[in-house]
A = this chain, B = another copy of it.
């Protein structure tokens, strides 16, 4: 298909002479492909390209841009140009853009929009970031329960150009309370005279305005639905979350969890475009905090200084043992964090999981103990072999249990489990590892502490 060929062609769109030729070239491109070009050129050229398109396509392409690129372009445009695009944008996307503009810019823009648009933007941009309300759109179709399938189809045909989806419509009563959902497929199959209330599906899920966006996205995935209705506190329909926005949330949340696990603060843009100062700030805080956790490890070593002084080769095994504690802990923590995030594991599963983790980590610990025992025997004889094997086994079990439990503990304290990152687990496992290892060494080797 056309797109494939375009991709292979190493063309420089800006080198094209004549507006007409450029227009011909971009006319049939998919919005997402145009965005790939726009993101790599200066804002002046981006607008030169974009302005060649009809206004509805301008809005579609604009919506596909990253939010930071949208803001840059919005600031470059004349107020009237921006207002025209914003008028054509879908409700959720323009509210997002509006939220990123400065109060001053918002004030300047408002008078250029119609009353209805101003109210829509105000309403949609009033919900806190991260909630279902903040990602929903108001461009959905509603039906009355007493209409026939034919009447409903006629209405959808008329409204289709302005709605984000007509594949799922919502049935509401006079107070706009949600009664059910109707798929376009069922309308098309239905007898034209059948009433909507007989066709509609009442088992579909819904979310509340202030439910998290993750919750909304997870429902969309769970129920394989094209759109999820969002209700206010009086069970009235106020918006829908569409599958494509849900998909973005799934990706965004996974990225955030990844970053949290390495203790990186929230990045507003992708890492490719993040400023140095932002990267610095979002990374340095936890690194500094972890230094203080590591002081305890140092203090542990200090406490056993005489043991080390009495038998210096013990230091050889220190990185291996505390490293293994951290690695085993990181494994359990990662398994749990991800399983909690995807809903695979819940609070009530904790007891059963601990029991299993003890067995798994015992098996792993024994295997690793056998391995280091050989190294220990080679390096320092039977006693050292015993010390490192015993330490390894205990350390792996303790590390695993810390890794397993920390995410649950944090979830219970209503902190995001992903904060039980690998570095935190590793640092905590380090302290434990030092104490266990040198404690066992001093006992077995009969060294004074």
Which A residues between 331 and 349 are near B, CB-CB below 8 angstroms? Answer: 331, 333-339, 342, 344-345, 349
Q: Count A-side interface residues using an 8 Å CB cutoff.
A: 118
Which A residues between 219 and 241 are near B, CB-CB below 8 angstroms? Answer: 220-224, 226
Q: Which residues of B contact A430 (CB under 8 A)?
A: 319, 323
Q: Which residues of B contact A359 (CB under 8 A)?
A: 276
Ordered by A's residue number, 5 sampled pairs between the chains whose C-beta atoms are within 8 Å are A167-B185, A251-B342, A258-B334, A326-B426, A426-B426
B244 touches A221 (CB 8 A): yes
A327 touches B287 (CB 8 A): yes
7 nearest A-B pairs in the assembled complex, by CB-CB distance: A262-B334, A297-B319, A254-B254, A294-B320, A270-B344, A30-B203, A298-B316
- How far is A309 from B30 in the complex, measured between Cα atoms in Å? 68
Q: Besides A255-B342, A327-B426, 19 other CB < 8 A contacts?
A: A1-B205, A2-B203, A32-B224, A64-B224, A156-B188, A220-B247, A243-B247, A250-B254, A261-B422, A272-B339, A279-B360, A280-B360, A288-B371, A297-B320, A298-B320, A299-B316, A301-B318, A422-B422, A426-B426
Question: At the interface, yes or no: A189 with Cβ under 8 Å from chain B?
Answer: yes
Scoring A residues 139 to 167 as 1 if CB is less than 8 Å from chain B, else 0, what string do you get? Answer: 00000000000000100110011000011
Q: Which residues of B contact A258 (CB under 8 A)?
A: 254, 257-258, 261, 334, 337-338
B305 touches A312 (CB 8 A): yes
A423 touches B326 (CB 8 A): yes
Question: At the interface, yes or no: A434 with Cβ under 8 Å from chain B?
Answer: yes
Question: At the interface, yes or no: A37 with Cβ under 8 Å from chain B?
Answer: no
Residue of B at shortest CB range from A336?
B271
Known contacts A271-B344, A359-B276, A360-B283; decide if A247 and B246 are in contact (CB<8 Å).
yes
Scoring A residues 266 to 294 as 1 if CB is less than 8 Å from chain B, else 0, what string do you get? Answer: 00001110001001100110111011001
- How far is A305 from B3 in the complex, measured between Cα atoms in Å? 63
B291 touches A349 (CB 8 A): no
Contacting residue for A297 out of B156, B287, B323, B337, CB 8 A: B323
State which of A80-88, A100-108, A123-131, A362-370 sits at the interface with chain B: A362-370
A25 to chain B, nearest CB (A): 12
Question: At the interface, yes or no: A295 with Cβ under 8 Å from chain B?
Answer: yes
Q: Which residues of B contact A167 (CB under 8 A)?
A: 167, 184-185, 226
Known contacts A28-B203, A315-B315, A423-B327; decide if A288 and B368 are in contact (CB<8 Å).
yes
Which A residues between 389 and 426 are near B, CB-CB below 8 angstroms? Answer: 396, 422-423, 426
Question: At the interface, yes or no: A330 with Cβ under 8 Å from chain B?
Answer: yes
A319 touches B434 (CB 8 A): yes
Max chain B Cβ within 10 angstroms of own Cβ: one of A223, A299, A331: A331
A291 touches B204 (CB 8 A): no
Residue of B at shortest CB range from A60?
B224
Scoring A residues 342 to 383 as 1 if CB is less than 8 Å from chain B, else 0, what string do you get? Answer: 101100010001001001100110011001100100000000
Q: Which residues of B contact A247 (CB under 8 A)?
A: 220-221, 243, 246-247, 250
Give chain A's interface residues, CB within 8 Å of chain B. 1-4, 28-30, 32-33, 64, 153, 156-157, 160-161, 166-167, 178, 180, 184-185, 188-189, 202-206, 220-224, 226, 243-244, 246-248, 250-251, 254-255, 257-259, 261-264, 270-272, 276, 279-280, 283-284, 286-288, 290-291, 294-295, 297-299, 301-302, 305, 308-309, 312-313, 315-320, 322-324, 326-328, 330-331, 333-339, 342, 344-345, 349, 353, 356, 359-360, 363-364, 367-368, 371-372, 375, 396, 422-423, 426-427, 430, 434
Contacting residue for A324 out of B250, B291, B308, CB 8 A: B291
Residue of B at shortest CB range from A217?
B247
A366 to chain B, nearest CB (A): 10
Known contacts A188-B156, A342-B255; decide if A335 and B221 are in contact (CB<8 Å).
no
Known contacts A261-B334, A320-B297; decide if A339 and B291 are in contact (CB<8 Å).
no
Q: Which residues of B contact A287 (CB under 8 A)?
A: 324, 327-328, 331, 364, 368, 396
Max chain B Cβ within 10 angstroms of own Cβ: one of A290, A338, A430: A338
